[in-house]
Amino acid sequence: MMAHLIDGKEISLQIKEELKQKAIEYKERGIEVTLAVIQVGNDPASSVYVGNKKKACEFVGIRSLAYELPEETTQEELIALVKELNERADVNGILVQLPLPSHINEDFVIKTIAPEKDVDGFHPQSVGALSIGQKGFVSCTPAGIIELLKRSNIEIAGKECVVVGRSNIVGKPMALLMLRENATVTVCHSRTKDLKEVTKRADILIVALGKPRFITSEYVKDGAVVIDVGIHRDENNKLCGDVDFADVEGKVEAITPVPGGVGPMTIAMLMNNCMEAIV
Ligand code: GUN
């Protein structure tokens, strides 16, 4: 069986094109959407992510304000900046790139972001709203996965969905979103007994466990849909996901590649959240 390759690059481009039109309409009404991006220190991976976010803003027509703060920035200084941006009428979205240096309490900083500008969907109020089905920003990676499934015409309602990983950014909100779409949802994690037995039940298997090529064909049911959130560099410096793509591909109905699957969708959904931050 030839698996359908879920092309996140193409789908994210479609979404960004749609948002570009919306940004033009906003501009005609005198509204400029603005995202403030704060990075503390020079973590190389964070710098790449922040650079990609800026590029996406330029593409869509969102103004981005970059705050590149030194590693020694204190928690008080960072909080003061977030509070200033909360107050600014010309700033619609605020994103604090994670991880923060260890002397700064991430939870405390996230809690300071005004929920109506929390385009990452990390504020406890945003997470709470998602868990009780109320309106609020949704974490971009899981929101992007729902969009990938919908735009690939993959039915979610009534399906067995297994999420591997329970992080606050991906696993937990992913499970809540799949539940909202009426899937039957199981969440697995490092203490799950007999992981294979559980993942083999999945019609839709979403993997975010952070181990390169961990999920082999033994973990996957014939004809399943597999979504790979992981991104790693292997021993040959080649990008790979949490799923052993070459091993699994022949067995499944559809699968996301790495790169070019989930990754580009995260940024597209961030752009979408920024547009939605306009009331
Ligand atoms: N670090 C890794 N992923 C993310 C993300 O989606 N948002 C933020 N703010 N930081 C991250």
Cα angle at 175 between 203 and 202, to 5 degrees? Answer: 15
State the CATH number of the domain containing residue 85: 3.40.50.10860
In this predicted structure, what is the pLDDT of residue 133? 94
Tell me, what CATH number does 219's domain have? 3.40.50.720
Domain boundary among 60, 87, 117: 117
Mean pLDDT of 37-55: 97
Give 161's strand partners.
Answer: 185, 204
If you take atom 4 of ligand 1, which residue's CA is the nearest one? Answer: 98
Active-site choice (7, 120, 203, 242): 120
249 and 143 share a domain? Answer: yes
Clarify whether 97 is annotated catalytic: yes
Q: Are residues 68 and 99 in the same domain?
A: yes
Question: Has residue 66 been placed in a domain?
Answer: yes
Give me Rg for the CA atoms of the chain.
19
Q: Is 239 helix (H, G, I), strand (E, B) or coil?
A: strand
* Position 12 in a domain: no
pLDDT band, very low/low/confident/very high, at 279 (cuts 50, 70, 90) = confident
ipTM: 0.93
Lookup: tokens for 67:
């705050």
Q: Ligand 1: distance of its center to the CA of 97 in Å?
A: 5
CA 84 to chain centre: 26
Would you say residue 62 lies in a domain?
Answer: yes
Would you call 247 exposed, middle or buried from its count of C-beta atoms within 10 A (0-12, 13-18, 19+)? Answer: middle
| Cβ contacts of 106 within 8 Å, gap of 6 or more | 98, 99, 100
What local confidence, expressed as pLDDT, does residue 243 receive? Answer: 98
User: Is there a single domain that holds both residue 106 and residue 208?
Assistant: no
Mean pLDDT, range 161-170, rounded to an integer: 98
Domain that holds residue 260: 139-264
Ligand 1 pocket list (CB less than 6 A)? 95-98, 120, 140, 266
Residue nearest (by alpha carbon) to ligand 1 atom 8: 97
- Asked whether residue 266 carries a pLDDT value surpassing 80, the answer given is yes
Do residues 143 and 228 both lie within one domain? yes
Whether residue 66 is found in the same domain as residue 174:
no
- Let me know if residue 184 belongs to a domain: yes
Q: Is residue 13 included in any domain, yes or no?
A: no
The chain-wide mean pLDDT, for the chain, equals 97
> pLDDT (tens digit, 9 = 90+) per residue, 137-152?
999 999 999 999 999 9
Check whether residue 160 and residue 260 sit in a common domain: yes
Q: Spell out the residues 6+ positions from residue 135 whose beta carbon is closer than 8 angstroms to its own.
A: 129
Q: Do 184 and 257 have their domain in common?
A: yes
CA angle 112, 116, 119 (to 5 degrees): 85
Q: Please give the distance of CA 50 from its chain centroid, rounded to a whole number.
A: 14
User: Which tokens sit at 33?
Assistant: 């959407």
Residues 172 and 238 placed together within one structural domain of the fold: yes
Phi and psi (nearest 5°) for 128? -65, -45
| pLDDT score of 196 more than 90 | yes
Distance 173 CA to ligand 1 centre (A): 14
Kindly give the distance from the C-alpha atom of residue 185 to the centroid of ligand 1, in angstroms, as a whole number. Answer: 24
- Cβ(94)–Cβ(113) under 8 Å? yes
In-domain check, residue 200: yes
Give yes or no: residues 104 and 163 share one domain.
Answer: no
- Give the atom of ligand 1 at the shortest distance from the alpha carbon of 95: 9
- Distance CA(130)–CA(222), nearest Å, equals 32
Residues 197 and 149 in one domain: yes
Domain count, the chain: 2
Mean pLDDT to the nearest integer, 11-16: 98
Residues 6+ apart with CB under 8 A from 102: none
Instruction: Write down the number of H helices and E strands in the chain.
Output: 10, 11
Single out the catalytic residue among 7, 16, 53, 118. 53
The verdict on residue 10 lying in a domain is no
Q: How far is CA 190 from the centre of its chain?
A: 21
Is 147 part of any domain? yes
Cα(65)–Cα(113) distance, integer angstroms: 16
> Which run of H or E residues covers position 109?
helix 106-112
Instruction: Tell which one of 52, 119, 122, 169 to mutate to probe ligand 1, the residue whose CB is within 8 A of the most ligand atoms.
Output: 169
Q: Mark whether 113 and 154 lie in a shared domain.
A: no
Does the annotation flag 190 for ligand binding? no
On whether both 39 and 97 belong to a single domain, the answer is yes
> Is residue 41 part of an annotated ligand binding site?
no
